[in-house]
Every structure is written in C-alpha cells, then in structure tokens.
Structure 1
C-alpha cells in the first residue's frame, strides 16, 4: 500500500504526534509499504527521510501557540492527488476533517486519529459551558465518524467521547523506544536519596496551558514548604515558558533548553528520582511513558489518560500541589519503584502499535475497494 499521512500541530519542538508519525512511518516502510507525510513547514520542501517522503508545505502560524496550520485546501488537494495514495491517515479532526470526504470521492480508504479529547478542550479552553461543550463535541465526533472509514484513539479516555455516541473507535496505544529510553541506574538496586541529599525531580512536557505545567512548579513549592531538599529540572518548551520561569524564580527549578537528541534527553531524565506528569487532558502521555522507560516512577493526575499509561509505574493523584507532593513522598518510600516504572513501560512498544495501525489501514483499503466494486 501507499500510505499517506497528513498532520497539523507538528513543529520542530513538538512531541507526541511527531514521535508517533516517525515511529509508525519507519515501521510501515520496514514492512514494505510506501509512505508519504504532509506536515506544516515554513515553506515548500520535499525530503526523503527514515519515515518516508516528507512534504513540508506553507502553513499559517498560530500566534502564541508555537504551531502553524495547513489551511490551503485547494493546494493540498492537488498535492494529495499527485501523491496518489491507497489510504490516508489524518492526525487532525478539525482543520483537516474534509480529507475524509476527499478520500471517499476518490475511492480511497481513510483513517482519522483523534489525538485530542474535544470535550475536554472545549470545557477547559473556551468559555463554552459544559453541557453545550459536550453537545458540540458530540456533533464534531459524529461528523468525523461519518467522514472517515475508521477512527483511532490512543487511549480509552480518548475513545470514550466516541463510545458515548455509539461510535466504534479503535484504541491503539502508542509505544516507546525501549533502547533509547532506558535506565541509567540499576533499577533493582536503586535507593532513594538519604537524609541530607537532594531529591531530583523532572518535568518533561510541553509548556502550554492544556498541559498544566504550573502544577509541577507548585508541587516543588509544597515540598519545599514541607522541608524537603528538592530540585526540579523542566524539559520542554511552549508558550508558558517565560511565565513559568518567573513563577519559579524563588524555587530550586531549572528550565533546560530544548534537547533534540533523544539519547541525551533520556540520559538526563534517567538521573531523576521522581517525575511529575500533570497534564489533565492527555489522550496518551508519551513524555510520561518515556520517563517511565528510563526507570523513573511518575506522579500523574487522575484526569485524562495518564493513569492508563503510568499504571503500576507511579502514583495517581488529584490535581493539587499537596496531593502531588504526597505522591512524590510515597514513591520515594515505595520499594522497587524504579523497577516497577521500567516494567510498566515495557508493556508498550512501537512495533505492536504500528502493526495494529497497519491492520486498520488494510481493513479500510478493503472497504474502499468494496465500495468501488459496488
């Protein structure tokens, strides 16, 4: 098959979607498929990469978001026609939802990947009250299901808003590179810092409002108030970076520059005693999975999909600084917490994730062929 993927919300400093696109694309190619990808770029550029042929097309910058979005339907439609795919995989259900109808008109199978929880976004990031927000999300999700042959979600939390409308959605968890993201200490012999030694925390994730990174900062404040010698390193960029640096100016918090080398990132994260993952709307939480793979137990919120990913590898807490501080203390006292973190991460791998995606692509390819024959 020739699999064409299209994605917005991909930038040089973005995380989960970009990582998933690369991992899936590399696996698709390894299995003998032809793979193309269209993503936003500062201009027109075509490169051949490990994940396939990548088309970077002009896009419109979104002020304060760190992203650019593809809006030119006519130009993109012509490019997609020229690429001539057998199936399409679209990672955006808003600005690119029209692509499902494009594929249907051309007899091409289509899959939409829902990387976001629309209900949560409307409730938390718009002035729309909860009941109308649920109604609006249901309408958008129903239309997406009508336009595409298959809907894929990375977690049961993400799929729930489809399930409540009786819409069949495939749950395909993401994966992690267990060789790159691996422990730098022996997880079976690890011991928490002794009294008088600092506890090292890490926050790894985009610094944007929906990720709620301020909760990590306030957790450090609470632990300091309790008398703990604690230091936090923040990995990640985003529109809230300057505001958070000012907020943490009186705390032992260091904001690290963006690290493009994943091996270096893994080595730095792996030195932490505990990680903090506060995002309430995560539909998977790849950053949390990567730090778990480094053998670092993680405190996560009881909202969203993070608790599905962290599982036995960490501590699930309400989204308050006090509760997160309790979680840090509990993980420092938990026997074999680092070994359990690594074991939890080993349940996820990109090979299994990509194989499930390929099975869905093959299914929609057959569905499109049956439509053409009928």
Structure 2
C-alpha cells in the first residue's frame, strides 16, 4: 500500500538533509490504548513535529489493521493483552514500511519486533538505527512466570542480539549490563503541560498509585505496606493483575481502605489526581526511569519510590526513597511523604521541575544529538 508523506518542500524547518526536512521514524510494539511512558513520549513528539516543522516524523506501531495516515503507520497484529498491545506476525510489514519511508534515522523503542530484520531494512534504505533502551532484562523477567533468575539471562542475551548491529544506543540509564555497550545518546523524557502545581486543588490525605497493575510494578508490596497502616490507598490503572486485585485486597482485610479505579487517559485528569493525593507511590523495583514520579513531582506532590529509580534524581527533595522489596521501609517512606503532603507538598519545586522538563526543549536537544550522529557517520564514510 502506498504511504502518504508530506511533500518535501512543505513547512520547511531548520534541520534539512538532502534538500528536505530530516525524516525520523520511531518504531515500537508497546503502543496500546492504555500504554504508559513510550506512548506519552511518541504522542508528544508527534505534536512537537507537527507544531514546529523542525523535522518530518513517522511512527510505526502494531494495529488492528494495516493503515498509513498522517505519519502514523499501523501494521496488523494480534491483540495479546488487555491494554491493546498487539504482536504482528513477523517483520515483513515493518521492513516494507521502513523501506518505503527511507528515513534518515530509525529509533527502535524495544528489542522484540524482529530487530535484526528491522536494522537490516533501515541500513539498506540508508538509515542510521538507534536502539532506545527503555526497559531492562530484570523488568522483562519480572513479568514472566517462574523465578526471575531463570529469565534474566535469556532477556539479556536477546537484548545483546538485538543491539548488535545498531549504530547507537539511547538510554536514561547505563545499558551496559543488559546490552554489553554503553549509551551513546541520552534519552530525555519530558512532561505534558498539564503537569504543574494546581493551587486550586486541595491536597487530601490518601496515597495514590497510578500505573500498570502488575506484580512486577510492586503493587503487591504496596498492599502489604498498607496492612496495619492508617492511610487510604487509591489504585488507578489497568494491567494483568486487574481482575485478581479485588481478591488480593480482600484477603489482606483492606477492602474498606483501598479503592480500585480504571485507567485514566486524559492528562489533565491524571494531573488533578496527583494534585489531590497526599503522596504518589511508585513501588516497582525495576523502574528504568519512572515517568509517573516525575509527573507527580511536577504538581508538587511528594513521591515514594525505590532507591534505584532513575527519576528520583530529577525529583530531588520530593523523593522519599526505600530499598526495593523492604515493605517496612516502604510503609515508613509513605508515612513521611504523607506528612509532607499534609503540609501542602512543594509547589515551588514542582514549578521548577515542570519548567526544566518541557517537551519542546527536550526534543530540540534530541534533534541536535541525532544531527550530530548523522554528521559523524558521514565524516566516517568520507574518511
């Protein structure tokens, strides 16, 4: 099927290559109706490209059926999870789309969609390929049945296989333990303008978890921490544990203090929930960034997170850390964060966080990095 593209001379931006705007393609399996950080990044990037005209942007994701419209390219796939994640049968549609687009740079946001085929198709089209390291072998293993120690080496070997032929790796953390190579470019994650302090919203005293409902995200530890505590807990989201959670809550005797709510897509509604909470908890032991923590902190909310969560460094004093898997320390961190939330949180720090992590600035910096990567590759070929 022919792919409709913007004309090369349409809306010229500041970054041009071969007489046209730079053409960037983002590829990911994990773009479902109720996805998290990757979808937020890609949606923001699409808006930025459309608004500024700084580069031509395309996104390739699985969909219910094949379709190519306005820079969004969907390859038919089979639905495999509740939040509309889909798996295409092989990589033929992906490789054909890359070949037709002839991008300057392809960013692969996961290592699972026939990565070696995708890299070969991109290189054959004259594209550079950047592997974007969002996850980790430990996080992937935590989502599988059986001991994590059995699965982690399997995922680590696959990541190294997937990254072997890429031209660069982009990451917010050091990917060396999983990929065998360090990050060449920083991954920058930003914030929707909705995430800011809201003085008109009265901060309450409940504890909020908002995100994927799964054991790998530490939801079970959070429920255990709530046993014997005196705070109310609100769980908002969807995921593989959604149907089993009511029984888990009842078994722990928490039915009167734990509320379970569906996934919320609207960014303004999410921000209002952060602003109403005494604190927001991100209990997962394997967060590769933790965008929820950054979003919540931008509203001035105290955030409880594992000591190793990368976003904790961006949150600063609003972060209340605990060692992964230590339920007692998690409960103590929640108590400390609630006390700070009862005093109103920190709106001034929230405003600074929101300003520093605006998407416009971050995408400009990412574009500068990609242009530099292309220039280095051209100099290498010329030499």
TM over 0.5: yes
Alignment length (residue pairs):
352
Partner of 2:194: 180
Distance 1:8 1:126 in 2: 21
Maintained 8 Å contact 2:232/2:258: yes
Unaligned 5+ runs, structure 2? 1-21
Maintained 8 Å contact 2:209/2:281: yes
Partner of 1:17: 38
TM (norm. structure 1) is: 0.83
Given candidates 61, 69, 73, the residue that maps to 2:79 is 61
Please give the per-residue CA displacement for 1:341-374, whole angstroms capped at 9, x wherever unaligned.
Answer: 6144544332333223212321343355457657
Maintained 8 Å contact 2:175/2:181: no
Please give the per-residue CA displacement for 1:241-295, whole angstroms capped at 9, x wherever unaligned.
Answer: 1211222232411122222221122112211111111111111111221111121
Distance 1:320 1:129, change over 3 A: closer
Given candidates 85, 92, 96, the residue that maps to 2:103 is 85
Partner of 1:8: 29
Give the secondary-structure state (helix, strand or coil) at the position aligned to 2:61: strand
Maintained 8 Å contact 2:138/2:286: no
Distance 1:86 1:361 in 2: 9
Q: Which moved more, 1:57-66 or 1:100-109?
A: 57-66
Maintained 8 Å contact 1:278/1:301: yes
Distance 1:124 1:67 in 2: 15
Unaligned 5+ runs, structure 1? 194-198
Give the secondary-structure state (helix, strand or coil) at the position aligned to 2:301: coil
Partner of 1:196: none
After TM superposition, give the deviation of residue 148 of structure 1 in Å. Answer: 1.0
Give the secondary-structure state (helix, strand or coil) at the position aligned to 1:92: coil
After TM superposition, give the deviation of residue 94 of structure 1 in Å. Answer: 2.4
Distance 2:87 2:68 in 1: 18
Maintained 8 Å contact 1:200/1:232: yes
Please give the per-residue CA displacement for 1:177-229, whole angstroms capped at 9, x wherever unaligned.
Answer: 2x301222379xx8x87xxxxx2111111112321222222222231xxxx2x
After TM superposition, give the deviation of residue 325 of structure 1 in Å. Answer: 1.6
* Structure 2 residue 61 is matched with structure 1 residue 39: yes
Distance 2:32 2:72 in 1: 13
After TM superposition, give the deviation of residue 80 of structure 1 in Å. Answer: 1.8
Maintained 8 Å contact 1:316/1:327: yes
Distance 2:267 2:283 in 1: 22
After TM superposition, give the deviation of residue 26 of structure 1 in Å. Answer: 2.6
Distance 1:246 1:341, change over 3 A: farther
Distance 1:11 1:137, change over 3 A: closer
Maintained 8 Å contact 2:99/2:125: no
Please give the per-residue CA displacement for 1:64-98, whole angstroms capped at 9, x wherever unaligned.
Answer: 67521234322222222222222211111122422
Maintained 8 Å contact 2:131/2:170: yes
Q: Which moved more, 1:72-81 or 1:282-291?
A: 72-81
Distance 1:143 1:72, change over 3 A: closer
Given candidates 320, 324, 328, the residue that maps to 2:330 is 324
Q: Which moved more, 1:82-91 or 1:34-43?
A: 82-91
RMSD of the TM alignment (CA)? 2.9
Q: Does 1 or 2 have the higher relative contact order (CA < 8 Å, sep 6+)?
A: 1
* Structure 2 residue 213 is matched with structure 1 residue 207: yes
Q: Which moved more, 1:25-34 or 1:323-332?
A: 25-34
